[in-house]
Copies of this chain bind each other. A is one copy, B any other.
Amino acid sequence: MTIEAPLAPHPDRLLPADPETRAIARELYLSVKDLPIISPHGHTDPSWFAENQPFPDPATLFIIPDHYIFRMLYSQGVPLEELGVPRIDGGWTETDTRKIWRRFAENFHLLRGTPSRMWLDYAFHEILGITERLSPTNADRIYDQIDAQLKRPEFLPRALFERFGIEAIATTENPLDDLRHHKAIKASGWSGRVMTAFRPDNVTDPEHPRFREDLPELGRITGEDVGTWQGYLAALRKRRLYFIEHGGATSTDHGHPTAHTENLPQEEAAALYGRIVSSQASAGEAERFRGQMLTEMARMSVDDGLVMQIHPGALRSQNPAVTGTFGEAKGDDWPSPTEYVRALKPLLNAYGNERDLTIILFTLDESTYAREIAPLAGHYPALRIGPAWWFHDSPEGMRRFREQVTETGGFYNTVGFNDDTRAFFSIPARHDLSRRVDCGFLARLVAEHRLERDEAFAVAKDLAYNLVKAAYRL
């Protein structure tokens, strides 16, 4: 047996190296380390918790569905087929999960310096008890170890949910979803809190690939006439209530290409909707319609209390060769420059001063943190700043977020952490990483005498627990 490098994530990992700062950071971290996890925005599958079946083999769990991993290997020449990513055209893809795992192990070094590496190391060591660093020579042995663990009852979804200390977790569903899994969870009597979030892009974005198909279905399930603007709005209102009642939803989520908003007179909005449903709308009108729908969603939120999340600026499924073969969201998504101050004005003029409304803004364009997002959220009562998102949900990204947002936006216009993931085993890793980076930032403020020690402890708990609970009304 080859002697392999040990896998032993250091207890001080991610804390600043300066000894005095690290000592403060460690104390802060220990004070929040074991707080419950609140995961208000994510993409886990509610059927896991409804059905509580074992997770699959290591490759199917960790590699095949993880776009962070397969995009990096693809960028270095590994075909997606060899990583087992399913083809929508039914063509060959690797199904031998052990081979997929070996291919991954050969390329494990590509993840050096990335958050994926830290998440995996955490999952392997802290959750699954692996003590060697993955390499080509131990790939099979580690595969077997993980595979054996995953079959044990303490690795069933509900057991892990409890072991991870999850107090509440949100999934994401579109308005047509019947929420059967959420209902099943509730009916099962299990105490885990799993709520849905209302993500209506498929019926509010005319350029969404499912819009034409899903809009009539929205009418059917609500009994509303979605041929009319009023019927369409009524249908959306009904589904929001359904999500609140049957899925425990406390939030909506909107993933638009830009932050553009509109606040048209209702007659104009109705006319625009008319062109949308009759398929006569231009790209510009589709953009205006999405913008109008953000304002309509804010209006509904004032009534029903759902917290609004706006995630603009991602260009999705941009590589036709990949999308055509493997489908949407296969690592060919990226940010684009995003403007907020002019784009949000119509919405903010209408609802920015509402004290009972919460709109959480996210960005993939870090140049907007200090220039736009923090100044806006440091003024409007309705606005809060979502955590570092997607490509920036990483140690350096989170550090830049705090450094660029805090001085104008303060800590109290932020809303804690989102893991934003379907990779269930990474959830405790991601929250742990976030707590470590935040405590490192706070420790620097304390070490530089910019924040008092007792205040840093209070803020650390706010960032890890209190703010997310308050912002998402949990």
Contact = CB atoms under 8 A, between A and B. Distances in A.
A349 B378 contact: no
Interface in A302-325: 315, 318-322
A114 B410 contact: yes
A415 interface: no
Given A17-B448, A113-B407, A133-B452, A412 B379 contact: no
A22 to B, nearest CB: 9
A458 B72 CA distance: 19
Interface in A1-60: 5, 9-10, 12-21
Interface stretch (A189-197, A218-226, A247-255, A388-396): A388-396
A458 B135 CA distance: 15
A208 interface: no
Given A74-B381, A366-B367, A375 B335 contact: yes
A451 B381 contact: no
B75 A372 contact: no
Contacts of A459: 112-113
Contacts of A377: 75
A14 B410 contact: no
Nearest to A21: B17
A280 interface: no
A365 B412 CA distance: 24
B395 A370 contact: no
Contacts of A320: 349
A192 B403 CA distance: 38
Given A133-B452, A319-B348, A319-B349, A76 B412 contact: yes
B370 A366 contact: yes
B72 A410 contact: yes
Interface stretch (A145-153, A209-217, A229-237, A338-346): A338-346
A116 to B, nearest CB: 9
A401 to B, nearest CB: 12
A355 B77 CA distance: 6
A372 to B, nearest CB: 7
A109 B454 CA distance: 12
Contact of A319 (B370, B380, B396): B380
B397 A370 contact: yes
A137 interface: no
Contacts of A322: 353
Which one of A332, A336, A397, A407 has the greatest number of beta carbons of chain B within 10 Å?
A407
Contacts of A77: 355, 381
A211 to B, nearest CB: 23
Nearest to A11: B449
Contacts of A227: none
Contacts of A19: 20
A336 B341 contact: yes
Contacts of A455: 109, 112
Interface in A405-438: 406-408, 410-413
A435 to B, nearest CB: 15
Given A17-B444, A391-B370, A403-B396, A75 B381 contact: yes
Given A322-B353, A337-B339, A364-B371, A379 B448 contact: no
A411 B112 contact: yes
Contact of A76 (B13, B15, B365, B413): B413
Contacts of A387: none
A314 B321 CA distance: 31
B9 A449 contact: yes
A241 interface: no
A406 B113 contact: yes
Contacts of A21: 17
The 8 closest A-B pairs by CB, nearest first: A13-B449, A10-B449, A334-B375, A17-B447, A394-B407, A113-B406, A367-B367, A335-B371
28 contacts: A9-B449, A16-B17, A16-B448, A17-B447, A17-B448, A18-B18, A71-B379, A74-B381, A75-B378, A75-B380, A75-B381, A75-B383, A76-B413, A112-B451, A112-B459, A113-B407, A113-B411, A319-B352, A319-B353, A331-B378, A334-B371, A334-B376, A335-B371, A335-B375, A337-B367, A366-B367, A374-B391, A395-B448
